[in-house]
Chain A
Amino acid sequence: MNPFLFTLWFLLFPVLGQGGEPIANYKKLAFPPMSENFEKGWQDRVLADYEVINNADLKSLRVALADGSPFVRAIAAYALGVRGDTGSAEALAGLIKGDKEPIVRIRAVEALALLKSKPEALEGALKDRDPGVPFVAKLVAGQVKSNKDYSAQIRHAYATGIKREDLGRAIVGKPAPDFSALTLEDKPFHLSSVLGKKPIAIYFAAFDG
């Protein structure tokens, strides 16, 4: 090998290698059959999601769109939307049309909506054979026309990071962990603003509430 190229490779490898590492780590996660809920290892999935969205390089994410695991394709699709990679819009539209797994098609729909790109692909998703895909396509339909950059909002939320020791700290008999979320007016809300002043009920909902 040319000594100059070898030196360049030697210098750049740690950087490039790190950018691909989040996806490599994501592939190591244990996944259950699609038909089951699966609680074991949820902390690892949270941390791996954060790592992919915050640190994976765009090249490794684009490559991961063709990965054999639907979970890897799904997180890569979503991460590309969150990262605002308009260059991947065509590939994401291809996933909506042709990927066999609903989880991947849903994530690609979310990503294209965040990119505000390929409205025709989102239109097509409304007719998808799996009920989850049209539901999400309908949910994000107005997002495409909005002037607000929701990918930036999500990036900002992920950028604050999360530590393993902070996961699952809500326990009966213990003080409620404080948190920061967003109101519908996009203002920060801190639980501490009401904590200890009145009884509180918090419901953590899925897509459909």
Chain B
Amino acid sequence: MHQQAQLRLRKGEVEKLGAETFVVMPLDTYRTQTFKEQNWLLGGGKGPFGKEKSLVFATPLSDPAGQVSAIYGVSRRALRWGSWVENYPHWFVIDRKGIITFILKPTFATPTSYQDDIEAVIAALKKASGQSLP
């Protein structure tokens, strides 16, 4: 949820680039909708997202059999909570020609690594859109 929260903070930049963002969940549509609408992980606390109901700005897509995730090579690779179906979180950026230009595997190594991840994704989107970096 941190990745989605950070992306939402950069919503204006994404829209200015004319870019489209998606978040793929290896879940049925019910649970994907719950993911979009309920901020359970960061909600309720004293942090910057504590009072927000939904943190998802990207278009959510349901991947009930994890097929898309497997095609992109991120499926059944993480043992968090012991579930092989879970995706190992990854970002993919695709340019205007339909070519993959950037892949990021978040490390979740530090409390601020989410910000760095989104910074890198926005930079890759700028490059993919043909805009030069500031």
Contacts and interface: CB of A to CB of B under 8 A. Distances in A.
- Answer yes or no: do A and B interact: yes
A140 B28 CA distance: 10
Contacts of B73: 42, 167-170
Given A201-B91, A203-B90, A139 B72 contact: no
Contacts of B26: 204
Interface size class of A (residues with CB under 8 A): 35 or more
A152 B5 CA distance: 32
A38 B88 CA distance: 10
Interface in B27-71: 27-36, 40-41, 55-56, 58-71
Contact of A177 (B3, B72, B101): B72
Contact of A204 (B31, B72, B100, B101): B72
Interface stretch (A5-13, A45-53, A85-93): A45-53
Contacts of A34: 79, 82
B89 A203 contact: yes
A132 interface: yes
A127 interface: no
Nearest to A50: B65
Interface string B102-115: 11000000000000
Interface in A20-67: 32, 34-39, 42-43, 45-46, 49-50, 53
B75 A153 contact: no
Interface string A136-169: 1011101100101010011011101010001111
Given A150-B30, A181-B61, A204 B93 contact: no
Interface in A88-143: 101-103, 106-107, 130, 132, 135-136, 138-140, 142-143
A4 interface: no
Contacts of A74: 82-84
A201 B92 contact: yes
A123 B107 CA distance: 34
A169 B17 CA distance: 27
A70 B61 contact: no
A77 B102 CA distance: 37
Contacts of B100: 170-176
A198 to B, nearest CB: 5
Nearest to A197: B96
A198 B103 CA distance: 17
A183 B31 contact: no
A138 to B, nearest CB: 7
A50 B71 CA distance: 14
Contacts of A106: 81-83
Contacts of B82: 34, 70, 74, 101-103, 106, 132
A-B interface, 5 closest residue pairs, ranked by CB to CB distance from nearest: A103-B82, A168-B73, A132-B81, A157-B65, A209-B1
